[in-house]
Structure 1
Amino acid sequence: MPPAGGRNALEVEIRGKTFRGADGEAVRAIETIAFEVAPASFATLIGPSGCGKTTTLRIILGLDEDYEGRLRLPDEGHGRIAAVFQEPRLLPWRTVEENVRLALSDDEAERDLDQLFAVLGLAEMRSRYPSELSLGLARRVALARAFAVRPSLLLLDEPFVSLDEQTATRLRKLLMDVWSARPTTALMVTHNLREAVQLSDRIIFLTERPSRVRGVHDIAKPRAERDTRWREATLSAIAKRYSGVL
């Protein structure tokens, strides 16, 4: 069986991305963004608003093909890709379980998802409808739907934004619990450096538009050993190297 994160790294090389603004003028969004995410590792993209982070995810997802550059996806693009967006995007007329199972192929439609629901704290929510869920619970369902397909690449676009810190902290832990059980190659967009330091193996910093890679910070410390003292020291070191990121 192939590894969960695919046999090869995610390789991204965007040598230019331009779009038309509301006034019809050309806007250069990305100048050069190039990075790798090792198989079964977790990376984050951090940069100013409008610098092309979400555009980069859209390019990787194949939703935007109008760019210069190249991609190499895990398993050479033959593996499954799952995405979690800021909005959970659940169908209101389907239950939690039905929303999750919609992502499964026909031959896996009846697969046992008990463990996945249990890890994400959704075992008692399976028959509920999205209107009965808080935003935090709805985002758990979105995570369940993404992991249910057993992807070789997981993309997350600020999945914890607009949540209170207590809920966001709980969801980050749940994300790590389910990801650690089957580590897939993951790339997350966030504005939250503390979040990136807590979750990531690699942090990729982008400049303002037109964006370039400002730098890459690799983290070798096991997640279980990233205590408060270590996190604060790491944040301080990163802030000194990349001014303005905190």
Structure 2
Amino acid sequence: MSNLSKPIPPAGGPGGLAVEIRGKTFRGADGGDVRAIENVAFEVAAGRFATLIGPSGCGKTTTLRIILGLDPDFKGRLKLPADGAGRVAAVFQEPRLLPWRSVEENVRLALPEEDAGRDLDPLFATLGLTEMRSRYPSELSLGLARRVSLARAFAIRPSLLILDEPFVSLDEQTATRLRKLLIEVWSARPTTALMVTHNLREAVQLSDRIVFLTERPARIRGVHDIVTPHGERDTRWRETTLSVIAKRYSGVL
């Protein structure tokens, strides 16, 4: 990772997370170089919720991996909340729970030593897990397992929350219920959040900012900011907003 003398202008204003990726190339299966990201720069204000949307294979998950420090081989720079000293939590497509540990043990496993005995009752109650604390992952539905992964992420009180399609493959009823729970727990414990999704309705329901990416190599296609409070995003508002976005960014629905 290199410091650049002439940073590209970010897509948004100042915030808790600033991402600038001038280029990311990886080796393809045929041995040739594949340019995954060309110019991607955006910011997420402290305590706000942003979403990345783009075509499959455009570099969304690669961007998350770079932010998480799992892929340091890129040209650009990052500014993390708390100048990188804060805790970072990630929720992936798979819950990734240890099968030999109970729900509560899986959640507490992520806690730093100084928080080991902290009261997690309010968090479990918000996510509807109070009665599940002694259960094991094999006893949980996929929806419940994903609630546990959310609890584990919020339990560490992160300064940055990364979510990689956390509700993919769920039926719409279960996914809708989990989105509402996510907003409820996030609103009670505001943290800078960045999520990847292919679901524009999901992005509209959850986000303060939606960052649209082009096909590979990824560039910023545009940014749509949402100022309407989450509590006022009823069905009529969502349909109107989706219509506005569809006209501005053809092909996203």
Q: TM-score, normalised by structure 1?
A: 0.97
State the partner residue of 1:124: 131
**Which of 46, 63, 70 is the matching residue for 2:53?**
46
State the partner residue of 2:28: 21
Deviation sequence 1:150-174 (CA, Å, 0-9, x none)? 0000000000000000000000000
User: Is the contact made by 1:79 and 1:153 (CA closer than 8 Å) also made in structure 2?
Assistant: yes
2:26 paired with 1:30: no
Query: Following TM superposition, where does structure 1 have runs of at least 4 consecutive aligned residues deviating by more than 4 angstroms?
Result: none
Report the CA distance between 1:227 and its aligned residue: 1.0
State the partner residue of 1:174: 181
User: Is the contact made by 1:8 and 1:75 (CA closer than 8 Å) also made in structure 2?
Assistant: no
Report the CA distance between 1:175 and its aligned residue: 0.3
State the partner residue of 1:69: 76
Deviation sequence 1:47-98 (CA, Å, 0-9, x none)? 0000000000000000000000000000000000000000000000000000
Q: Secondary structure at the match of 2:223?
A: strand
Alignment of 1:1-246 (within 5 A): 8-246=15-253
State the partner residue of 1:3: none
User: Is the contact made by 2:143 and 2:170 (CA closer than 8 Å) also made in structure 1?
Assistant: yes
Deviation sequence 1:179-207 (CA, Å, 0-9, x none)? 00011000000000000001100000000
Report the CA distance between 1:108 and its aligned residue: 1.0
Q: Secondary structure at the match of 2:250?
A: coil
RMSD: 0.9
User: Is the contact made by 2:15 and 2:43 (CA closer than 8 Å) also made in structure 1?
Assistant: no
Letter in 2 for 1:122: L
Letter in 1 for 2:115: E
Q: Secondary structure at the match of 2:47?
A: coil
State the partner residue of 2:9: none
Deviation sequence 1:94-127 (CA, Å, 0-9, x none)? 0000000000011211110000000000000000
Q: Secondary structure at the match of 1:124?
A: helix
User: Is the contact made by 2:15 and 2:44 (CA closer than 8 Å) also made in structure 1?
Assistant: no
User: Is the contact made by 2:52 and 2:197 (CA closer than 8 Å) also made in structure 1?
Assistant: yes
Q: Aligned pair in 2 of structure 1 residues 218, 74: CA closer, same or farther (>3 Å)?
A: same
User: Is the contact made by 1:33 and 1:211 (CA closer than 8 Å) also made in structure 2?
Assistant: yes
**Count of matched residue pairs:** 240
Report the CA distance between 1:8 and its aligned residue: 5.0
User: Is the contact made by 1:8 and 1:76 (CA closer than 8 Å) also made in structure 2?
Assistant: no
Which structure 1 residue ranges, 5 or more long, are not aligned?
1-6
Q: Secondary structure at the match of 2:130?
A: coil
Deviation sequence 1:130-161 (CA, Å, 0-9, x none)? 00000000000000000000000000000000
User: Is the contact made by 1:15 and 1:33 (CA closer than 8 Å) also made in structure 2?
Assistant: yes
Q: Percent identity?
A: 82
Q: TM-score, normalised by structure 2?
A: 0.94
Q: In 1, distance between residues paired with 2:196 and 2:143?
A: 18
Report the CA distance between 1:236 and its aligned residue: 0.5
Which structure 2 residue ranges, 5 or more long, are not aligned?
1-13
